[in-house]
Amino acid sequence: QVQLVESGGGLVQAGGSLRLSCAADGRTFSSYNMGWFQQAPGKEREFVAAISWSGGRTYYSDSVKGRFTISRDNDKNTVYLQMNTLKPEDTAVYYCAATGGTQITTAVGYSYWGQGTQVTVSS
């Protein structure tokens, strides 16, 4: 089992940047594929980005490709989401998730979730 804690959210103007962090406890972090999801009010949780356990493969939704970068540091048990050129439509609660499976671009594939961090982009 792994516990996840997100940080780094906040209020930013359109065009700005934020970096989200997700710290994991447990000694098996490096064995998990990790993902970031967003959930806006009244909407379902949507896939944003994912990274394989080794960091060798990354995946992005079309809406963030070229603007967001997912990375991980297995020595620090942390996964990051660098968000650049933010848009008002990026406003959402962002969740970090972990899975030992391979279905990593859908929420149902993940077993462990953080509590979320709010990102608000003003126009």
The partner residues of 97 in beta bridges, in order of sequence, read 35, 113
- Is residue 10 within 8 A of residue 86, CB to CB? The reply is no
**pLDDT one-digit tens code per residue, 43-87:** 999 999 999 999 999 999 999 999 999 999 999 999 999 999 999
Residue 114 pLDDT > 90: yes
State the pLDDT confidence band at 122, using cuts at 50, 70 and 90: very high
* 107 phi/psi in degrees, rounded to 5: -60, -35
**pLDDT one-digit tens code per residue, 2-38:** 999 999 999 999 999 999 999 999 778 999 999 999 9
- Please tell me the predicted confidence (pLDDT) of residue 26: 74
- Please tell me the predicted confidence (pLDDT) of residue 40: 96
State the pLDDT confidence band at 1, using cuts at 50, 70 and 90: confident
- Is residue 47 within 8 A of residue 58, CB to CB? The reply is no
